[in-house]
Each structure stands twice: as structure tokens, then as C-alpha cells.
Structure 1
């Protein structure tokens, strides 16, 4: 698999926030997020500017599982980039990690544009569909990103599996303004996912950014009966790699 980094830290977002976790960050993404603040996504080194000199590159599943054995914490987070771009390898990786630790809790963080058999070896799918506020402005990637950012067919499949009791999911959205709420509500009417599984997260790649966007995010959660999640890793370490 094409890997950016492997590290041990705490989960900073969502319903597993605070849990000691082994992170597997894949390299490359099919989208190019940019927000009105001018911030790129907080892992632009896997998308906008792949840092191949620092990224691990092609890494065997055996090497990844060996690294996990150093920690053997319960939680494993497979993130990116966009890990589901590598659906076949992701399936093999999840199978291997479950063999190493049958009690492991595997979370896959995804933008929800791909799905695969890896879901059968996953304990939580963390869906983060990209809203209109993520569309880059005045860049060649604008049209590509806007066309690809929402895959209703795939999102409906994830939600139908959740409704059938076959999958645990959370919906995690980056919040920038009230316009985001309108789009989230529109998605809810199309897909029928529950408020109890929705998390709003303030946009920002620094503590200063989060301080600015946090109050409106909390307000939106209270007004719409959504969950709030902060970004603990940024509050503790800033926008650094390997944490």
C-alpha cells in the first residue's frame, strides 16, 4: 500500500476521541479540499502536495502489522489521504490486523466516495462527505473536486448497511457557516441518516483557527441536535505530522 505515515497517538475526532490509537495514514487523495479561510485540508501532504521524500511510500501489509505489534492498542485508525482508493489492499490489511489482534477496533476515515469488502472487517466507518465549502477556488482542480466530492450511491449503500445492522457509522462534517447546515440537511433528506450519528467539527488547522470557528460550530450543533467534536490533536500539538 502507498503509505504516508504510521504512528501512535490519540484519536482527535468523533465518537472515539481520546482513545489511544495506531494510525495508518495512506498517501494520495481523489479530492482537493480548500476552504474559504484559504486553508487546504490538514493533510495536504497526501493530496495537494504529496511529500514523497517524507512519506513512507509503498509499504507491505506485513510491515504495517509488524509496526502495530509494537503498540497492540485496541484502536486502529486507517485514514488518509483517502484509504478506500486502495479497496482490495485495504481488505487484506484489515483481515491481517484482525488476525494480529482479534479484539482490535478498526476505524476507517473516508470521504465516502468508494466502498468495498473491507467493510466486513471494520468496526466503524467515519464518513466525512465534502461540502460545497470545500470546493477550491480559481484552481484547475475546482471542477474535478466539485464533480467527485459527493457520491450519493455509495453514501446510500453505507447508510443502508447501517440500517440493516451490518455497519457502524458516523457522519463527520467540517463546519464553516450556516450554508453547510443547509447542505447537510439536504443530504439527510436524500439519504435518511440520523442526527445522533452526525458530528460537526470546526474548520481550522491551528488552535487560533479553531478558537475562531468553534463557537458557531457549537451553536449549530445545539440548534440542529447534532454532536460536536473538536480536533484534539491540533489543540495539543498544532498541525504537525505523526500525531
Structure 2
């Protein structure tokens, strides 16, 4: 079994987004991300301690896979969500992690939350790939990370692989896009042409890291989703607990 992963936090909560919203889940949040999202609102991503500030003192550090599985085993729910940061950075190690988790609970449902920039065999280890390609609205235009973010945010090979795995029936998918305004629609459709996913697999989610911010964008986001034949998703964990760690 491979060595450990850099982990930010692990916790039990409900899934707040997408088609499995509300489901009791054990979250494994990896540390570090290849992207640095910053939206026109001024908001960074909702977990900046895994991307902008990965050296945050509250991050757990390198945790052996055996210890991650042990933490899950204490009170194992039927769902695990491997999120980040960007878990895809850990590639083959995720295969080992999923295999060990399934030894504890063979019926477990494992979701990968990813920005879709890392192709690889590891993608076949999951039941659901929740892919959130980062649109132009996420580019940190006033920072030193702008060029790197822009260069990496769309990986056609990874996007096509994920769609192919879905078409073959090997994984379930949801394409989850952070909506900031009408200018996002054209780019979402361009990514759809590139990748080949269906309208029924798209979830539009309002950009915001507070309840008030989500409230301001909720209606426009929902109406845009309806207009284009997409699904809408909210962010239940923020609505319930606010934007904090461990939820």
C-alpha cells in the first residue's frame, strides 16, 4: 500500500452540493491544489486553506492511508467524499485509498470532487466523479497566479476521459459549474462541446461563500439552469453552518 496523503481535514457531515445533497458522508479533504481561484466578487475558493494557504497550521499534514481508513472506521457512514484542494494530484494513491475503504465497507459509495485537470487510471476507482471545471470567471487576474491558473484550468484529456468513463457505464458523473453571471453560459457550452456531456448531467451552483451571497445569486442561477436545460444545486452546508471548516 502506498504512503500517505497530505490531508487538510476529515469529518462527518452531509453532502451539501449536487445530486447527492443531504446524504450523510465522511469527508476526506486533501491538501494542496494546482489552481488558485479568485472570483470577480473578490472571493477566493471556499477552502483557501488547501490552495492559497496550504501551510495553514490547522491542516493535518501527511496521514498514512491506514490512519485515514481508521478514522472512517470509527463510525462508518455509507458515503465517502474525497475532496480538496485537488485530490487528483495524488493519482495512484487514491486507488489504494478506495480499495482500503471498500475493505471496511464493501457497499460504500465513494465520490471524487475534482477540478478535472488530472487524467489517469485512478478515476475508475470512484462511484461518482463530481467534476467542477473552472471557468474564466475563476482566474485570479490581479495576482501572480494568473498565468498558471489560466494554463491549467481546462485539461481536455481529463475531461474527455471522465465523459468516456461515464458513457461506458464505469462511473456516474455530475458536471458542477460555479455560476457568477450570464457570461459563464457560453463557456459552459464550449466545454460541453469539447467533452460531450449531457445537459442532464450539468449542475449550476451560485458563487458565494456566505448565506447572503448565495441568496443574492440563487434566483438568477436557478432561472439560468432552467433556461438551458440544466440542473440547479445549492450549497446546503453553507446555508446551515456558514463557511467554516469541518462541515
- TM range, smaller chain: over 0.9
2:216 corresponds in structure 1 to 212
How much is the aligned-residue C-alpha RMSD, in angstroms? 0.8
Q: Quote how far apart the aligned CAs of 1:70 are.
A: 1.3
Q: Quote how far apart the aligned CAs of 1:113 are.
A: 0.3
State the distance in 2 between where 1:202 and 1:180 align. Answer: 11
- 1:154-193 to 2 correspondence within 5 Å? 154-193=158-197
State the distance in 2 between where 1:60 and 1:52 align. Answer: 19
Q: Quote how far apart the aligned CAs of 1:192 are.
A: 1.5
Larger mean Cα displacement after TM superposition, 161-170 or 121-130: 161-170
From 192, 198, 209, the equivalent of 1:194 is: 198
Matched, 1:29 2:37: no
| TM-score normalized with structure 1 length | 0.98
CA contact (8 A) 1:22 1:71 kept: no
- Give the SS at the match of 1:241: coil
Q: Quote how far apart the aligned CAs of 1:51 are.
A: 4.1
State the distance in 2 between where 1:120 and 1:138 align. Answer: 37
1:237 corresponds in structure 2 to 241
Query: 1:57-94: CA deviations, max 9, x gaps?
Result: 00011111011011210000000000010012111101
Matched, 1:13 2:23: no
Matched, 1:64 2:68: yes
- Where does structure 2 lack aligned partners over 5 or more consecutive residues? none
CA contact (8 A) 2:123 2:162 kept: no
CA contact (8 A) 1:133 1:176 kept: yes
Larger mean Cα displacement after TM superposition, 164-173 or 33-42: 164-173
CA contact (8 A) 2:113 2:131 kept: yes
CA contact (8 A) 1:4 1:57 kept: yes
Structure 1 stretches of at least 4 aligned residues deviating more than 2 Å after TM superposition: 115-121
2:127 corresponds in structure 1 to 123
1:85 corresponds in structure 2 to 89
State the distance in 1 between where 2:55 and 2:241 align. Answer: 20
- Give the SS at the match of 1:99: helix
- Give the SS at the match of 1:126: strand
Q: Quote how far apart the aligned CAs of 1:196 are.
A: 0.5
Q: Quote how far apart the aligned CAs of 1:137 are.
A: 1.6
CA contact (8 A) 1:31 1:148 kept: yes
Matched, 1:144 2:163: no
| TM-score normalized with structure 2 length | 0.97
Q: Quote how far apart the aligned CAs of 1:49 are.
A: 1.4
